[in-house]
Structure 1
Amino acid sequence: MKALVCEEPGRLRLDDRPEPGSPPPGWALVSVSHVGICGTDYHIYGGKHPFLNYPRVMGHEVSGRVVAVGADVAIAPGSPVVVNPYVSCGHCGACRKGKPNCCTAIAVLGVHTDGAMCERVLVPAGNLYPAAGITLEQAATVEFLAIGAHGVRRSGAAPGATALVIGAGPIGLGTALFARIAGQRVTLLDTSVERLAFARDALGFDDTLLAGDGLADRVAAHTGGEGFDVVYDATGAAPSIEAAFAHVGHGGTLVLLSVVRDTISFSDPEFHKREMTLHGSRNATRVDFDHVLACLKDGRIDVAPLITHRTTLAGAADDLPRWASEKTGLVKAMIVVDAA
């Protein structure tokens, strides 16, 4: 089968690889339909990911159809599915607490193990969720949207809460969409005029702030000096994360959706003065995937404006490196492996 391999930072190759073979008990063989290109994939290509060995087949935003199943699998061949790429051990402390998204032995497709930028992939059947009622292209957006949905759920913020989403990339936009669905009053902050204009014109987020000089004063003016009830940082940038603490109001919450290599520091007196809650938000769980699927099916989420670029598995060898640096007009790029 064909697979797009990142052999080392800065080098992609379309390769011929052996077929995955018959699925063992509890597993399924999936014919890949669509794969979304994530910021993680660009980081892997650029050599900036902290948890990765090369060579690697990337791809963890995946939809497809079941080709074959092993013993004790109820899902039928031919079924359209969303792939949950977080393969957990099922028995560590986090898994026993119902948090397989932060399993101590987690293996994320396309990161810790080879992913789905290929024609077929073996996946535990428990990681496949039915995608009937939506297109397979829509289904390939479920994983990245679930990241934002999980962060919103982690916040615990009530309807009517004021929310600042920092970073208007795909994860930030997804977070903003689900914060809005949760009834939060959303403001978007970014360094890019273009991205804020997209959020306004394509997604209806009229309340925006442009990062830059005097931001702290502008946030204070925007909130009547009170700060935001909840702040979500989706930038993947340490300076932005450190600055975000100051945007949280007294009694408020900061949710960190991105991971950085750096050590993050903050003022403990300011943190305690606010009695702030700080949440890490990692990956997503089944309940988040189900919430996204329900929102896609009933029309609360329209992903059409978000998918701005498309390519094929062969074309991605040239397109992914270009999109890693040429961001104008790019929100979400999609690899169409098999549209049938």
Structure 2
Amino acid sequence: MKAVQIVNPSEIKVVELEKPTVGAGEVLVRIKYVGFCGSDLNTFLGRNPMVKLPVIPGHEVGAVIEEIGSEVPGGFEKGMNVTLNPYTNCGKCASCRNGRVNACEHNETLGVQRNGVMCEYAVLPWTKIIPAGNISSRDCALIEPMSVGFHAVARGQVTDNEYVMVIGCGMIGIGAIVRAALRGATVIAVDLDDEKLDLAKRMGASYAVNSKTENVHQRMQEITEGFGADVVIEAVGSPATYVMAVDEVGFTGRVVCIGYAKNEVAFQTKYFVQKELDIRGSRNALPADFRAVINYMNTGNCPVDELITKIVKPEDTLQAMEEWVANPGKVFRILVEL
């Protein structure tokens, strides 16, 4: 079967692999679409310390069930559109013991700590197969990245009488905006790009602030009547946005961190104490987050076409990644059609 492999930094090629066979408790899926995400971009650039090259990328998946192994319970049918839960959990670490399997100490995400599924077929345990109802296989590839944003909103315990500031309107930030708006919160989207901010408003943000051209603190004070945000979700992963999150959250607010900052961040830690902040990490997603995204997408209110920047064939992945590197701010999702 055909597969896409990142061989070395800036080097991608199409390789032939043996088609996997299904075993007991497993499901064979035909992969239709796989999204490139930020971790894949970092792998391509040689900046992902969790990856050992060469690696097959891909964990944002739209697939169709091809074959069902023995000992798989009912509810799965051949031809069903599905997405995949790309994380593993050991069942023994502190996170697993506490029921937060998404943050397993020994997690191995597809395409990161182990080979992904940017290939024609894949076999997974039935527990990692997520039926997606009437969602097309193309649009199923959007579910996992949106679920990460949905999970951040859950971590922030967002309610309907709160101001929620989302810093970064990429795919994961958009997921957070959607979920916070669905919960009834007043959402303030912050980004450097006006096109992304316009999309954020169509996805549920009440306010849009361009941090490149506007005074963010002044705008936040105006919008929140001087109180600051009740919840700030950081979905960029830069020192500047981490500091912004702590500066703009209100007293006794919550800061939820999704992005990984590549460099050390210098904080005025007095705000941690003075504001009595809750600072929370948010990693991956839980099955409930996947279900929430699927429910949302099944309403027909998600402008899926606007979230897909480009669809390419495996042979064109190198060119697509080079274009993404050259203009990263203009890409939401690049999908590979297999």
With the shorter chain as reference, the TM-score category is over 0.9
AA paired with 1:180?
Answer: A
Q: Does 1:14 align with 2:14?
A: yes
Q: Per the alignment, do residues 165 and 52 of structure 1 end up closer, same or farther by CA in structure 2, a change over 3 Å counting? A: same
TM-score by length of 2: 0.93
Cα contact 2:239–2:266 (8 A) shared by 1: no
Cα contact 1:45–1:321 (8 A) shared by 2: no
Question: How many angstroms apart in 1 are the aligned matches of 2:334 and 2:278?
Answer: 34
Question: How many angstroms apart in 1 are the aligned matches of 2:161 and 2:49?
Answer: 37
Match of 2:138 in 1: 137
Cα contact 1:29–1:68 (8 A) shared by 2: yes
* CA-to-aligned-CA distance 1:284-316 (integer Å, 9 cap, x gap): 010000111111112343323211211122222
* CA-to-aligned-CA distance 1:187-240 (integer Å, 9 cap, x gap): 11112233223334x536451111147432332233222110110110121221
Q: Per the alignment, do residues 89 and 26 of structure 1 end up closer, same or farther by CA in structure 2, a change over 3 Å counting? A: farther
Question: How many angstroms apart in 2 are the aligned matches of 1:305 and 1:2?
Answer: 28
Question: How many angstroms apart in 1 are the aligned matches of 2:131 and 2:216?
Answer: 44
AA paired with 1:233?
Answer: E
Unaligned residue ranges in structure 2 (runs of 5+):
none
Q: Per the alignment, do residues 147 and 119 of structure 1 end up closer, same or farther by CA in structure 2, a change over 3 Å counting? A: same
AA paired with 1:284?
Answer: A
Structure 1 residue 56: Cα displacement: 0.6
Q: Per the alignment, do residues 307 and 275 of structure 1 end up closer, same or farther by CA in structure 2, a change over 3 Å counting? A: same
SS of structure 1 residue aligned to 2:315: coil
Question: How many angstroms apart in 1 are the aligned matches of 2:309 and 2:175?
Answer: 15
Q: Does 1:303 align with 2:304?
A: yes
* CA-to-aligned-CA distance 1:245-290 (integer Å, 9 cap, x gap): 0000011110001123333342222111111111100000100001
Match of 2:166 in 1: 165
Cα contact 1:115–1:121 (8 A) shared by 2: no
Match of 1:4 in 2: 4
Q: Does 1:40 align with 2:29?
A: no
The range that moved more, 247-256 or 84-93, is: 84-93
Match of 2:129 in 1: 128
Match of 1:49 in 2: 48
Match of 2:197 in 1: 196
Question: How many angstroms apart in 2 are the aligned matches of 1:316 and 1:2?
Answer: 13
SS of structure 2 residue aligned to 1:87: coil
Question: How many angstroms apart in 2 are the aligned matches of 1:113 and 1:81?
Answer: 21
The range that moved more, 258-267 or 78-87, is: 258-267
Match of 2:63 in 1: 64
AA paired with 1:123?
Answer: L
Question: How many angstroms apart in 2 are the aligned matches of 1:312 and 1:4?
Answer: 10
Cα contact 1:311–1:336 (8 A) shared by 2: yes
Q: Per the alignment, do residues 68 and 194 of structure 1 end up closer, same or farther by CA in structure 2, a change over 3 Å counting? A: same
SS of structure 1 residue aligned to 2:326: coil
Match of 2:104 in 1: 103
Q: How many residues align?
A: 335
Cα contact 1:177–1:301 (8 A) shared by 2: no
Q: Per the alignment, do residues 204 and 179 of structure 1 end up closer, same or farther by CA in structure 2, a change over 3 Å counting? A: closer
AA paired with 1:99?
Answer: R
Match of 1:279 in 2: 280
Cα contact 2:28–2:65 (8 A) shared by 1: yes
Cα contact 2:234–2:259 (8 A) shared by 1: yes
AA paired with 2:256?
Answer: V
AA paired with 2:221?
Answer: A
SS of structure 2 residue aligned to 1:321: helix
Q: Does 1:324 align with 2:331?
A: no
Q: Per the alignment, do residues 53 and 194 of structure 1 end up closer, same or farther by CA in structure 2, a change over 3 Å counting? A: same
The range that moved more, 9-18 or 71-80, is: 71-80
Cα contact 2:31–2:64 (8 A) shared by 1: yes
Question: How many angstroms apart in 2 are the aligned matches of 1:168 and 1:261?
Answer: 19
Question: How many angstroms apart in 2 are the aligned matches of 1:204 and 1:104?
Answer: 34
Match of 1:315 in 2: 316
The range that moved more, 265-274 or 205-214, is: 205-214
TM-score by length of 1: 0.93
Cα contact 1:25–1:70 (8 A) shared by 2: yes
Q: Does 1:175 align with 2:166?
A: no
Cα contact 2:187–2:204 (8 A) shared by 1: no
Structure 1 residue 10: Cα displacement: 0.9
Percentage of pairs with the same residue:
29
Question: How many angstroms apart in 2 are the aligned matches of 1:327 and 1:301?
Answer: 23
AA paired with 2:236?
Answer: T
Question: How many angstroms apart in 2 are the aligned matches of 1:93 and 1:70?
Answer: 32
* CA-to-aligned-CA distance 1:8-36 (integer Å, 9 cap, x gap): 1111111112222x223222221101111
SS of structure 2 residue aligned to 1:73: coil
SS of structure 1 residue aligned to 2:181: helix
Question: How many angstroms apart in 2 are the aligned matches of 1:18 and 1:44?
Answer: 24
AA paired with 2:3?
Answer: A
Q: Per the alignment, do residues 135 and 125 of structure 1 end up closer, same or farther by CA in structure 2, a change over 3 Å counting? A: same
Q: Does 1:220 align with 2:226?
A: no
